[in-house]
Amino acid sequence: MKQILWFRRDLRIDDNAILSNAKNEVLPIFIFDKSILSKLSVDDKRVSFIYNSVLKLKVILKTIGLDLAIFYGKPFEIIKNLKKDFDEVLCSVDFDEYSIKRDKEIEELIPMKRYIDSFIINPNEHLNSNNRPYRVFTPFYKSLNVITQSKRIDTFKRNKNLKKITFDYNVIPTLMQMNFKEQKLPIFLKKNAFTLLEEFGNKITSYKEDRDYFYKDASSNISVHLRFGLVSPKQIFNYVKSLNTKSSEFFIRELFWREFYNYILFHFPKSQNQNFNGLNIKWNENDLDFEKWCNGETGIPIIDAAMINLNNTGFMHNRLRMVVASFLTKNLFIDWKKGEFYFSKKLLDYEASSNIGSWQWSSSTGADATPYFRTFNPYIQSRKFDKEGYFIKSIIKEFSNIDSRLLHIENGVQSNLFNNYTNSIVDIKISRQRAIKKFKEAKNA
Ligand SMILES: Cc1cc2nc3c(=O)[nH]c(=O)nc-3n(C[C@H](O)[C@H](O)[C@H](O)COP(=O)(O)OP(=O)(O)OC[C@H]3O[C@@H](n4cnc5c(N)ncnc54)[C@H](O)[C@@H]3O)c2cc1C
């Protein structure tokens, strides 16, 4: 039996489904997929992160007697060329639309065995008492009590008797050959997943209280490593459970929001580009407003700082994601799909299901959505979670000497004549009322 082990978003050797289920002779491969990469810009930060992670995986696989063949091309063509020497392909399940189609086509060429590896639960297995998928987080989460309340979840044990198939695919494509430039990444991404987890372990007791204070470094910062499988969700679950703190349970709940959104997209694939709750909303089509939001030029300090920081680093704190998403969809009344698409190009941890689910949640169109009359007032949010303006001032340098109180008042910064800061593009109170009116109309239509 000769098997291709196709690493995709499982770039690790522990708790890895394919290394556990493989038998005998194997060829581990990674494909830089031309169809995906051709849509990305030359300065995409994720490609730098994945590239470095794939090279590291190759080194790690060598330490266990294996190796990694690295390709650049279309997966269908590459597997077509390899298939004559192999019996089957092993890989983890990818749930997104493109991957489902890609895998279906490849399955016509060679048998494929797929394993749930990037998520804890199989979305197909947890239905409600009517045999229907859950649509709301809390009952979904409660139904998983046996898992979420357990002390640990079994992980995949690596088959240590695998034999390497020697290959002559020794040329590793460079970033430049794939039309990318190496990008500077946020410092925390230089650390490996287990260092990040250990650091989180030292501060987890304050996670529940401090998580929303976006100037503090209170969360795990694990989402990027998790996205590309440098750590598995089960490993994170087991580590956090072993700490046995009050915040552990709170954190596990967050980790299951990721499961929930994957579950929702699996059962309701149309929610990728339709309002989950079916509301027919006539959004504001003003491109200039949208552009100003993207560029951080709205005249609202917290929104602008969050967006500028996203554009520079590829990262945004969870509370800020909620604030900018609410602002875009409620105050500017712009379609969540535009914000979702923008995040999909920028976020280092971009995960289609979490991003779509969270955007729909924020815009009150989703599963378990926030009620439409609930909007985040950006000034109240910044006063509450960054009173001294530490985050905002660290991003918008011209505010560094300004009285912090002005950051939390509508057009407050602009009242200081020495500042050359644009006026707010929208009145928060009036725009909130407009959003409520429009939602009411859509509901009653
Ligand atoms: C509009 C919007 C878009 C988002 N898009 C993404 C995305 O593309 N990819 C992504 O991984 N997360 C997304 N999130 C969720 C969340 O913001 C990030 O997971 C979190 O900020 C990552 O930082 P962390 O690892 O330090 O989080 P922690 O607070 O340490 O949480 C640990 C892990 O739990 C999961 N998690 C936490 N909160 C959520 C949540 N609300 N929804 C889903 N999973 C969650 C993540 O996997 C995260 O890494 C989005 C949230 C919003 C409001």
Same domain, 103 and 128: no
Q: What is the mean pLDDT of residues 79-89?
A: 96
Per-residue CA distances from 227 to 224, 254, 310 (Å): 5, 15, 17
Query: Cα–Cα distance between 205 and 284 in angstroms, integer?
Result: 43
Q: In this structure, are 55 and 33 located in the same domain?
A: yes
Pocket test for ligand 1, best of 209, 221, 358 (most atoms within 8 A of CB): 358
Instruction: Choose which residue among 202, 318, 330 to substitute to test ligand 1 binding: the one with the highest number of ligand atoms within 8 A of its C-beta.
Output: 318
Residues 364 and 255 placed together within one structural domain of the fold:
no
* pLDDT reported for residue 419: 79
Predicted local distance difference test score (pLDDT) of residue 368: 80
- For residue 250, the model assigns a pLDDT of 95
Which range of residues forms the domain containing residue 248?
119-153+193-267
Question: Strand locations in 135-213, DSSP E?
Answer: 163-164
- What's the whole-number mean pLDDT along residues 333-360? 97
Q: Are 301 and 382 in contact (CB under 8 A)?
A: yes
- Does residue 421 share a domain with residue 346? yes
SS3 3: strand
State what percent of residues in the chain have pLDDT above 90: 93
Residue of 203, 254, 313 with the most ligand 1 atoms within 8 Å of its CB, for mutation: 254
Residue 369 has pLDDT above 80, yes or no: no
Structure tokens at 195: 């260092």
Measured by CA distance, the residue closest to atom 43 of ligand 1 is: 258
Ligand 1 atom 5, closest CA: 355
Look at ligand 1, atom 22, and give the residue with the nearest C-alpha. 223
Assigned token pair, 22: 């493989």
Q: Evaluate whether residue 182 is within a structural domain.
A: no
Pocket test for ligand 1, best of 323, 329, 354 (most atoms within 8 A of CB): 354
Is residue 300 located within the same domain as residue 438?
yes
219 CA distance to ligand 1 middle (Å): 10
Distance, in Å, from the CA atom of 236 to the CA atom of 333, rounded to the nearest integer, reads: 37
Global pTM reads 0.97
Task: Say if residue 207 is in the same domain as residue 106.
Answer: no
What residues have CB less than 8 Å from 369, skipping those under 6 apart? 276, 277, 360, 361, 363
| Summary mean pLDDT of the chain | 96
What confidence tens digit (pLDDT) does each residue in 284-324 have? 999 999 999 999 999 999 999 999 999 999 999 999 999 99
How far from each other are the two terminal CA atoms of the chain, in whole angstroms? 61
Write down the pLDDT at residue 373.
85
Ligand 1, atom 21: nearest CA belongs to which residue?
A: 318
219 lines ligand 1 (CB under 6 A): yes
Give yes or no: residues 97 and 149 share one domain: no
292 with 384, same domain?
A: yes
Q: Ligand 1: which atom is nearest the Cα of residue 233?
A: 47
Q: For residue 422, what pLDDT is reported?
A: 94
The reply to whether ligand 1 has any atom less than 6 angstroms from the CB of 328 is no
The average pLDDT across 357-381 equals: 92
Query: In this structure, which amino acid lies at residue 65?
Result: G
Domain finish residue from 118, 139, 162? 118
Residue 24 lies in a domain: yes
Where does the pLDDT of residue 96 fall: very low under 50, low under 70, confident under 90, or very high at 90 and above? confident
pLDDT at 374: 86
Q: Which helix (H) or strand (E) holds 7?
A: strand 2-7
Q: 């031309």: which residue's tokens?
A: 34
One domain, residues 14 and 98 = yes
User: Is 424 part of any domain?
Assistant: yes
Distance from the alpha carbon of residue 170 to the mean position of ligand 1, in angstroms: 37
**CATH at 305:** 1.10.579.10
pLDDT value of residue 418? 75
**Within this chain, do residues 100 and 229 fall inside the same structural domain, yes or no?**
no
Token couple for 348:
């280092």
Q: What is the mean pLDDT of residues 350-361?
A: 97
Mean pLDDT across the stretch 404-418?
91
423 and 298 share one domain: yes
Say how many Å lie between the CA of residue 355 and the centre of ligand 1.
8
Overall domain count for the chain = 3
CA–CA distance, 222 with 219 (Å, rounded to integer): 8
